[in-house]
Amino acid sequence: MAVPTRKTSHARKSSRRSSVWKLDAPTLVTCPNCGELTAAHKACTNCGMYKGRQVVAKKDA
């Protein structure tokens, strides 16, 4: 069974794992109805519209 000859240094280990935490920001598009920034292919959280029709009832505070 293969055994490492030397200890892996902290710098080598950290540089190998450095790209794990990086995430891509979600793509945001403007709602054609209200102009609010929303996630692509999702109903607008502000007005509830998706593809030109009302899919979520708007909550009145």
Q: Tell me the per-residue pLDDT of 27-48, one tens digit each, with 9 for 90 and over.
A: 899 999 999 999 999 999 888 9
Band of pLDDT at residue 9, cut at 50, 70 and 90: very high
Q: Distances from the Cα of 59 to the Cαs of 6, 25, 30, in angstroms?
A: 62, 28, 20
> What does pTM read for this prediction?
0.53
The DSSP line for 6-42 is SPPPHHHHHHHSTTSS--PPPPEEE-TTT--EEETTS
Tens digits of per-residue pLDDT, 10-32? 999 888 877 777 778 888 999 99
